Structure 1
Amino acid sequence: MKSTRIRKRWMLSGVFLLILAATCWVYADQAVTSSYSPVVMKEPFADTVARMKAAKPEVMQRQMELLNERYDLADRPAKEVMMSGGRKAIQEGVRVKLPQGVTWDQLAAMRPDEIKEKNLWPKGFYPLPHPNHAEGGMVFPQFHIDEIKKQEGRDLTRFDLDFDLPDHFLPEFPPPIYLTTRPDLGDVSRGQVVTIMNYFELFNGILNPKQLEGLRLLVTPFPQQQFNQTDDRRSELAGRGVTCFDCHVNGLSNGATHLVGDIRPQEFRHRLDTPPLRGVNVQRLFGSQRALKSVEDFTEFEQRAAYFDGDPVIATKKGVNILERGSQVHFMAEFQNILDFPPAPKLNIYGKLDPAKANESELRGQELFFGKAQCAVCHPAPYYTDGMMHNLKAERFYQPVMINGRMASADGPIKTFPLRGIKDSPPYLHDGRLLTLADTVEFFNMIQELKLTGQEKQDLVNFMAAL
């Protein structure tokens, strides 16, 4: 009897140890895949800087090899199509490289399952990873870093990585600003990047006091995940942070990238192409997953959580800026809501081409847009958005694959962005994977299985450039 009791005790002890081991394994696994960022750093900041600086050349080489494998990155500006500020031409031609041995027409003739089976989905059509996807965070083009350092003495340089896309695939800098309240003024930026140093001089007498205060807040630096004073930042020197207009420069975009804050784990987070703020007054869905229903919600959420990868715990540590909803948020939103689309002299009051002003190719493109190409199903005139979400189900064409730390799988529903002024804000799609308008036409020709001809594709590009 005694030996039996002893054996039972040993068995119970063994079961307990197994449960304890399993529990520890589960908690250890949760620590690896946690929704939260670590709050307490286990490594001295100087060691972090040294380690990540040493790794930077390899990180950037890997990303640039990926871009060169995917795209033709040559600088080939269009001869006659300038962005609305008149200082920069759009890039022309399809830049996504084809799989060896096939043409665009051959691919477009295949069924999605056939392309998937033969692994022929063009690499430039896969989701685009962040320059260092495992790390993530805000990254700015060098021309913007230089301008902010010149105006404010604020340094947006990261010690661990650089921006990846060449400048010629990004919006003109600085972009013009058009206001719904004063269309008679044209570009009110006077060719300057609007910052805390010049906003009052540029806009005093044009905006009302609420709008002026809203603009001040939009160009005021506040702490952000990578740019702050804590020991887990990614700027070498402690800094005041970033502004809304560091990404949405002059209410448009400079191509700055980030990762969306509301997806976990890290490898499934989408790279974020900074969308323009022009025309937000006609939009009703905001945030990377479009869970926010007003620009006021978006403005408040950006400051409270999106700046910190959607983690309010980290936000508290780094110095979250809690905006007052009834005044500050409203003031910021009021200014954003008067940012207008650029002039489109070929469009009539219904947002369609005036036959007396448009050329034959643009008119054919318009007919295709509203007809065979079915673009207007999601992008109706006059603003060329339906304000909704749509799932393109691009995963029909490829097997999930890990690409530089990004799990390329299903994108899920994405927002229909306005196409008014679309030539001003390359690159395209929600993660910036399409570098030119010609790339977007090829992408949607395959996604929608349209089987457009070469001339039809060019006509669509010409039409969009006129919007």
Structure 2
Amino acid sequence: MNLSRTGYWGLLTASAALATFTIAYAQQSPAPPSTAPAPRGASSYAPVDIKEPFATTLARMKAAQPEIQKRQADLLAERYDLANRPATGVTMSRGKAVQEGARAKLAAGVTWDQLAGMTPTEIRDRNLFPKGFYPLPHPNHAEGGMVFPKFEIEEIKKQEARDLTRFDLEFDLPDQFLPEFPPPIYLTTRPDLGDVSQGKLLTIDNYYELFNGILNPKQIEGLRLLLTPFPQQQFNQTEDRRSEKASRGVACFDCHANGHTNGATHLVGDIRPQEFRHRIDTPPLRGVNIQRLFGSQRALKTVEDFTEFEQRAAYFDGDPVIATKKGVNVLARGSQVHFMGEFQALLDFPPAPKLNVLGKLDPAKASAAELRGQDIFFGKGQCGTCHVAPFYTDNLMHNLQAERFYKPVMINGRYASADGPIKTFPLRGIKESPPYLHDGRLLTLEDTVEFFNLVLGTKLTAQEKQDLVLFLRTL
């Protein structure tokens, strides 16, 4: 693949340097000075005046696709145990099995307990930080852009005859590590109705029949807009799109399926150059009404800010110049943005029957192990320091400084160094929205417990970790 023609933001490395990066990652050693990414990109802007004919781009990128996908598949296999191994008797709201067990692979001869007993410096110097805990690159980091799971693509094509397939790559994580599809919809205004989705994926074709008589007219209009496709960086009518046919675009709920998430991925739009951009795991919109920060690292202050920002900037990788070319959807702040925000604020967390009104376990309903897990959560595990009941967020940003544990390294075009501050996501309904952390690098709740046990230095025992996972499943 000719990255200088297809990668946005003027990637500075030539093919020889990329080969060196791949070797550097395989050895998990810091990239040598000659291949370290430049601190400044050649340009902050995407190329606008494309000289290569679309047919040539299409043929070239289709030919490169198998090798790009193999590279990402090899990375995932090296990092994780990807087996379909569901937990006994644990499902999401509509019955999809929850995967169990820590899936990040350890270095040969090292146990989780041994690792937790080491200092960050020792782990870094001995190169023992689990590869599954490093930042996760995009399926093709040099190219970036929205990538959708196959089940979402097929359902949208069936209902709307709109194709979200990219000709240059496919989604990378196996379906068993993604949320159930389609997810249920719970409303803060009508908890008596339970799941109002009727088992359907909400689209422009069915939203009116599902919600007429339940929502007010503003909310119905907001929902219509959230389901309406608008041009996006990879899905539009221009010659630098990544859909084979000219596309009507992408809708907000193409990623936030039924106001939740389907695990679709993207890259943040607010970092340059390309190799420093972070992968995004689409977060749920459930519980928007209790949140005060939006965007995993952008710290936008209202859901209206987030809604407007997404379509004017994030849809186009943070580049308003290319947005103008491709057809930016400029929403009216006083009406459309407000209507969309009002609907999003109705999306509720799934029921948690074992919790009381303060968000803690009811001793009459919880098991002894779950109660022990709650004690660990608010005590030794330090989880409750940031994830405060009843919704299990403090609405703040925190810097975990995971870079203490590893040396900077290039991983499939992603320069793994510091993540910076990350929003405290609510943990209500957490078992329904794998994978975890802002970039989806943690595949299971067990991985998440091991990650924070290491990063926070809490030194939990095996039993304490197990109890903590059981508690998290009740939220």
* TM-score, normalised by the number of residues in structure 1: 0.93
Match of 2:47 among 38, 45, 67: 38
2:441 maps to what in 1?
433
2:369 maps to what in 1?
361
Write the distance in 1 (CA, Å) between the matches of 2:127 and 2:299. Answer: 34
SS in 2 for 1:229: coil
Between the aligned residues of both structures, percent identity stands at: 79
* 1:87-126 superposed matches below 5 A: 87-126=95-134
Write the distance in 1 (CA, Å) between the matches of 2:260 and 2:43. Answer: 34
1:372-428 CA-to-partner distances (Å, cap 9, x unmatched) read 001000001000000000000000000000000000000000000000000000000
Write the distance in 1 (CA, Å) between the matches of 2:295 and 2:439. Answer: 13
Write the distance in 2 (CA, Å) between the matches of 1:440 and 1:32. Answer: 33
2:197 maps to what in 1?
189
1:160-214 CA-to-partner distances (Å, cap 9, x unmatched) read 0000000000000000000000000000000000000000000000000000000
Write the distance in 1 (CA, Å) between the matches of 2:317 and 2:92. Answer: 32
Alpha-carbon shift at residue 32 of structure 1 (Å): 5.8
1:246 maps to what in 2?
254
1:337 maps to what in 2?
345
1:55 maps to what in 2?
64
Match of 2:413 among 402, 405, 409: 405
- C-alpha spacing 1:270/1:83, structure 2 compared with 1 (3 Å): same
Match of 2:76 among 63, 67, 85: 67
Q: List 4+ stretches of structure 1 deviating above 3 A.
A: 29-32
Which residues of structure 2 form unaligned runs of 5+? 1-37
Give the structure with higher Rg (CA). 1
* 1:411-422 superposed matches below 5 A: 411-422=419-430
Write the distance in 1 (CA, Å) between the matches of 2:415 and 2:39. Answer: 19
SS in 1 for 2:135: coil
* 1:283-322 superposed matches below 5 A: 283-322=291-330
Write the distance in 1 (CA, Å) between the matches of 2:299 and 2:388. Answer: 22
Alpha-carbon shift at residue 49 of structure 1 (Å): 0.4
Match of 1:445 among 437, 441, 453: 453
Alpha-carbon shift at residue 329 of structure 1 (Å): 0.3
1:82–1:89 contact (8 Å) kept in structure 2: yes
Q: Which amino acid in the other structure matches residue 370 of structure 1?
A: F
RMSD: 1.1
Which residues of structure 1 form unaligned runs of 5+? 1-28
1:346–1:357 contact (8 Å) kept in structure 2: yes
Q: Which amino acid in the other structure matches residue 35 of structure 1?
A: S
Structure 1 residue 455 corresponds to structure 2 residue 443: no
SS in 2 for 1:281: helix
- C-alpha spacing 1:263/1:288, structure 2 compared with 1 (3 Å): farther
1:267 maps to what in 2?
275
Structure 1 residue 161 corresponds to structure 2 residue 161: no
SS in 2 for 1:222: coil
Structure 1 residue 394 corresponds to structure 2 residue 402: yes
Alpha-carbon shift at residue 33 of structure 1 (Å): 2.1
Q: Which amino acid in the other structure matches residue 329 of structure 1?
A: V
Write the distance in 1 (CA, Å) between the matches of 2:444 and 2:325. Answer: 40
* TM-score, normalised by the number of residues in structure 2: 0.91
* 1:218-257 superposed matches below 5 A: 218-257=226-265
SS in 2 for 1:78: strand
Write the distance in 2 (CA, Å) between the matches of 1:318 and 1:434. Answer: 34
SS in 2 for 1:90: strand
SS in 1 for 2:189: coil
Write the distance in 2 (CA, Å) between the matches of 1:320 and 1:31. Answer: 27
SS in 1 for 2:415: strand
- C-alpha spacing 1:30/1:50, structure 2 compared with 1 (3 Å): farther
Write the distance in 2 (CA, Å) between the matches of 1:30 and 1:77. Answer: 43
Q: Which amino acid in the other structure matches residue 67 of structure 1?
A: L
1:203 maps to what in 2?
211
SS in 2 for 1:420: coil
2:181–2:262 contact (8 Å) kept in structure 1: yes
